Amino acid sequence: MSSDEDRVLAYRATILARMINPKMGKARIQGLIREIYGIEISKNTVTGWIYRGKKPNFKPTGLEKSLFYGEAYELALSLASRGYGHKKIATLVSRELPIRVSALTVYRWIKGLSKPSVNKLIIKEETMDDFAYLVGVLMGDMSRSKAMLDVKDRDFALEAKRCLEKVTGKHYRITERNELYIINTKNRWLREIYKSKLWKTVAWLRPKPFLQGLYDSDGSISPWILNKEHLTSAVIRLTSANKELILLVEKLLKTKGMRPIIVERPEMRRTINGREVKFGKCYNLILRKQEDTLRFARYAGFRMKRKRIMLSFLCHLIRSYDSAR
């Protein structure tokens, strides 16, 4: 990644971080960008971004358009009604908002030739956990190329649908096909969050709902019994081919006192229904100590009913066994 690309990523992460936590100051933002992206940005640069309206030159993606184009459009029409020309409007809008809008785009807006056609993304305190949950789902079960979710658990699909409707203000349908519940989101901002790695900012600043979405998607829980007399613990497992994701989740869990281990599963081939199927390399992030099971339940847990009930049941058995000793 070039230094220009690093700078744009750092800027976009800064803007997203300030939307998630408006009270974040320059020192915390500088530390966040260093910690999760390995990019060094000076405090003066961050100050210019968040307080003086400075910004690197980059073309707005589906994410920025979903966040800011609606506001930019309304501001452009308001300025046009006061007699400003399209070039001046473009300058004022770009100064006021975290993105640059071209004079040509503004011209088409104020002449009624076009208007923003992207799905609006609503990030505010009331929708923040729903947004972070969706980003967790995105890093798990959701198809990143199509921004489509197809899952076997209806309550999981309903929770994802509820969150989508909360953060976009739109209605989504769940369709059933081949014992799967499918939601077509058609949201470019979801694909862009994955592609740009801005999911890391969401995970770091809103870890609980992010982990809930991720573990509802790609997590599993099962009892761990070493002998027939009692439950030893539970095994909480996250499986992913994305090593960056696994390492970040490991770091998040460790900040809460848990001790996960990472097990790499090599590429393999298996015969399923008479056909040879190739499985790529993946990673398992595993929690298997009793205290880690209890901490995971307190810190994150699951929203999906099936997994939530299993976790609650196993935590009950662990506490019962401890009190009986």
Q: In what order do the strands lie in the sheet with 219-224?
A: 219-224, 233-240, 282-287, 261-265
Render pLDDT for 194-237 as a digit per residue (tens, 0 to 9).
999 999 999 999 999 999 999 999 999 998 876 666 667 789 99
Q: Which residues make up the CATH 3.10.28.10 domain(s) of the chain?
A: 215-323
- For residue 90, the model assigns a pLDDT of 96
Domain 125-205 has CATH 3.10.28: yes
Q: Which has the closest alpha carbon to 202: 263, 260, 135?
A: 135
Q: How confident is the model at residue 322 (pLDDT cuts 50, 70, 90)?
A: low
* C-alpha–C-alpha distance, residues 1 and 233, integer Å: 43
Asked whether 162 and 130 are in contact (CB, 8 A), the reply is: yes
Angle between helical axes of 86-96 and 62-81 (0-180°, round to 10):
130
Predicted model pTM: 0.91
pLDDT digits (tens, 9 = 90+) for 67-114: 999 999 999 999 999 999 999 999 999 999 999 999 999 999 999 999
Domain 215-323 sits in CATH at 3.10.28.10
The β-bridge relationship of strands 268-272 and 275-279 is antiparallel
pLDDT confidence tier of residue 1, bands split at 50, 70 and 90: very low
**Average pLDDT in the 296-305 region?**
96
Range 206-221 burial, b when 16+ CB lie within 10 A, else e: bbbbbbbbbbbbbbeb
Cβ 257 vs Cβ 295: under 8 Å = yes
CA distance 85 to 90: 9
